[in-house]
Structure 1
């Protein structure tokens, strides 16, 4: 989900060296002095192996690496770093927050919430722990507790991380204008180019899911102008091109995206665009990524439920969706279970989950389309044929999912 996707960056600090020149002789240009070399975190940990917060920071970097590169093997490295940190200071809030973040990255949200709460017990001023708690509670379907965690984070440390979470909380209750406002705050507060691009990207996502391709394209372009390496914004441009019927352009953009960041979401979007263009979809790389994620301890029944429902075996989709919803009864999991049950031929069982998914007012075109299709099949609406939902193409369902 969105709040788990913040980009991190490093600030480069320059040094100014002043050279004194003798006035008693002809000035000779002084050789440029190299700035002092900064110790790396790994070097620091070799020198100070008892630095538990250093180990926790190293774990956080590995988690970021997995997110930024699509390589889940970095989670195993993060686990090792956190194990070392926990041996030194098992009750430290930074260590507990790192463990919570790793659990969330592996979709173990109940465990993530438990660890985040332990971190807060250890340090009630741990803003980062409230952020992880908000993410975990959202994924567990407890939006009230998630909002409370966001409010606490806002009170402690208003900034990009808090504003983006507040934006998502507003979006989930259907308040798109407030969601936009908080993203504006995040953009204004950000000083790292990656964070500014992140805020613009999600403004593009909001516009895209309202069917406003022009505004979405402008926000994606702004994100890339700010931070050219922002792959989600490039994927956003691909989505706009696909929805606008420029399929060759979209496929060219998706090639760039998956070469840099082969996340399952992007691979599915690429495959659906190929099908829309009359080309065969090749799911080989997607299956390879699935194996990598499973080997790294990431349990992602949600992705495979959605994929199987649209492109594979509906019965397998139901199994995955039930497993996901049992662990994480959030809005997206409810929608996945509803759609899987519908595709498996049991719309009467699907309807309660579709109503759960759309019950907060969240203006997500994918959820709206699924509920409408289910209701049509049960004769609950007078309209006939496939429903039309603004901002949604039934041939490209993955494009309506939030990355």
Structure 2
């Protein structure tokens, strides 16, 4: 049952040690970035004054007005984001002391980097946002919002927490200041603070322009607590109330992800397809289609969907998923080629200041050197001890052969008292495999069954492994009940 592997010298990043830190149309359009959770980081242009949500909207043409502001909030289409960047670049050249324009430009750079998987945008974003702060320090919530968004895009949760807390302190009644703060608290494992911030956000009762984003953020929080029905209801309402097709596409993608997580493949595919009809640039919907089609036993279509997603936006995570799909199909050379691309794309992300220790750790644990994964993830846990890091570290320790220590982290992930309420097939699988190695047969059987019950198709590599391990554990012994004490 021991399927660990160790391949020294196969580090995802070689060479010197890498750093770990890593209004209205024309005047009536608000573009906001980073809704958080399942739809984190998207940007939205609100409809013109007087335009009813849900009514048909004219296609943007060459003379369409360009938004004048960027701040935290709701999703929008990439072409509009390109217009924002072009407009603000012209504006800061003409008015280099315009702090607001610098903040808008910096936040737009962040969003472009996140949406296109282009980490080269992040240093530009940082320069623009810090310029905004130099021009206007006091009360510059636009720059603080942008810096919080940048830190989240780079997976630097301590920095995101600092900037977001400053923004909330400056404007505690502004709803859009809270989603990045909640994300930062989640990434740091401070679930009590995250829930308190969510309660404050919900108590603000934002207007129609912000309500869908707030519902989406609440959906993400409910999902993390294991409240599936509530998460779906909130995100369904958000999609119905969305102000633009791109915003609606983001929320439909989130619904597809929720359906995928519970193993409802037809529902997942329906939502991903609907999202792509509204916003063809929605990479998460394309990769979601790939994941779903693979689970439906359609490998050629799945590979094509992943390749289309990567052609649009070369995400390291999607690259790794495609490699594992190839590996599950026995296409070893194709898998190895994808793993080499993962390395190259991670190096690019690190050069842009992104903390990719979590992804590196996951890669090393399953495809490289588990002990390097442990070393990296232990340092990551010290810096930002979120649930994802706990799961990855526990699995890396298991793969390295230290199952007693691994169990400590794996049980943290599934402990509701410690914030681990999410119903994740992968988390349950990891815990079950660790327990099996420790000869805890009953709990191991229960957690492996739970993983396959949550989502029988959670991974093309690991779901078959879960079924094999469960079979090796055998059936529950048919033993008589203990005799009653007289």
Listed as ranges, the matches of 1:262-341 within 5 Å are 262-280=314-332, 281=335, 282=337, 283-341=339-397
Q: Identify the range of structure 1 (160-169 vs 5-14) with the bigger mean alpha-carbon deviation.
A: 5-14
Listed as ranges, the matches of 1:229-240 within 5 Å are 229-240=281-292
Distance 1:68 1:369 in 2: 31
2:100 aligns with one of 53, 75, 80: 53
Deviation at residue 35 of structure 1 after TM alignment: 5.9
Q: Go from structure 1 to structure 2 and tell me whether the alpha carbon gap of 1:204 and 1:396 turns closer, same or farther (over 3 Å shift).
A: farther
1:7 aligns with one of 42, 54, 62: 42
Distance 1:120 1:136 in 2: 13
Residue 448 of structure 2 aligns to a residue in which SS?
coil
TM-score (structure 1 length as normaliser): 0.88
Listed as ranges, the matches of 1:200-239 within 5 Å are 200-239=252-291
Q: Go from structure 1 to structure 2 and tell me whether the alpha carbon gap of 1:248 and 1:385 turns closer, same or farther (over 3 Å shift).
A: farther
CA contact (8 A) 2:46 2:243 kept: no
Relative CO higher for 1 or 2, CA cutoff 8 Å, sep ≥ 6?
A: 2
The yes-or-no answer on 1:72 pairing with 2:128 is: no
Listed as ranges, the matches of 1:166-181 within 5 Å are 166-181=218-233
1:367 corresponding residue in structure 2? 427
Gaps of 5+ in 1: 15-33, 399-403
CA contact (8 A) 2:290 2:305 kept: yes
Deviation at residue 305 of structure 1 after TM alignment: 0.8
Deviation at residue 318 of structure 1 after TM alignment: 0.7
Distance 1:96 1:196 in 2: 27
Q: Go from structure 1 to structure 2 and tell me whether the alpha carbon gap of 1:379 and 1:318 turns closer, same or farther (over 3 Å shift).
A: same
Deviations 1:93-124 (A, max 9, x none): 22222222212222211121111111122222
1:130 aligns with one of 169, 178, 188: 178
Distance 2:168 2:328 in 1: 48
Residue 76 of structure 1 aligns to a residue in which SS?
helix
1:93 corresponding residue in structure 2? 141
CA contact (8 A) 2:39 2:254 kept: no
Residue 229 of structure 1 aligns to a residue in which SS?
coil
The yes-or-no answer on 1:118 pairing with 2:166 is: yes
Distance 1:328 1:219 in 2: 33
Distance 1:206 1:104 in 2: 22
CA contact (8 A) 1:258 1:266 kept: yes
Distance 1:12 1:210 in 2: 34
Distance 1:353 1:294 in 2: 26
Distance 2:103 2:174 in 1: 14
Distance 1:219 1:36 in 2: 29
Q: Identify the range of structure 1 (220-229 vs 138-147) with the bigger mean alpha-carbon deviation.
A: 220-229
Deviations 1:181-230 (A, max 9, x none): 11012112212212111111111111111111111111111212222222
Q: Go from structure 1 to structure 2 and tell me whether the alpha carbon gap of 1:87 and 1:397 turns closer, same or farther (over 3 Å shift).
A: farther
Distance 2:153 2:299 in 1: 33
CA contact (8 A) 1:55 1:85 kept: yes
2:59 corresponding residue in structure 1? none
Q: Go from structure 1 to structure 2 and tell me whether the alpha carbon gap of 1:396 and 1:175 turns closer, same or farther (over 3 Å shift).
A: same
Gaps of 5+ in 2: 1-35, 50-61, 69-86, 464-486
Deviation at residue 7 of structure 1 after TM alignment: 2.3
TM-score (structure 2 length as normaliser): 0.74
Deviation at residue 301 of structure 1 after TM alignment: 0.7
Distance 2:276 2:63 in 1: 31
Q: Go from structure 1 to structure 2 and tell me whether the alpha carbon gap of 1:259 and 1:99 turns closer, same or farther (over 3 Å shift).
A: same
Distance 1:3 1:59 in 2: 23
- Report the RMSD for the aligned CA atoms in angstroms: 2.4
CA contact (8 A) 2:47 2:243 kept: no
Deviation at residue 337 of structure 1 after TM alignment: 0.6
* Residues matched between the structures, number: 379
Q: Go from structure 1 to structure 2 and tell me whether the alpha carbon gap of 1:381 and 1:366 turns closer, same or farther (over 3 Å shift).
A: same
Residue 387 of structure 1 aligns to a residue in which SS?
helix
Q: Go from structure 1 to structure 2 and tell me whether the alpha carbon gap of 1:291 and 1:136 turns closer, same or farther (over 3 Å shift).
A: same
Q: Identify the range of structure 1 (36-45 vs 353-362) with the bigger mean alpha-carbon deviation.
A: 36-45
The yes-or-no answer on 1:352 pairing with 2:408 is: yes
Deviation at residue 134 of structure 1 after TM alignment: 0.7
The yes-or-no answer on 1:151 pairing with 2:186 is: no
Distance 1:231 1:107 in 2: 19
CA contact (8 A) 1:6 1:198 kept: no
Deviation at residue 344 of structure 1 after TM alignment: 0.4
Q: Identify the range of structure 1 (96-105 vs 379-388) with the bigger mean alpha-carbon deviation.
A: 379-388
Deviation at residue 331 of structure 1 after TM alignment: 1.0
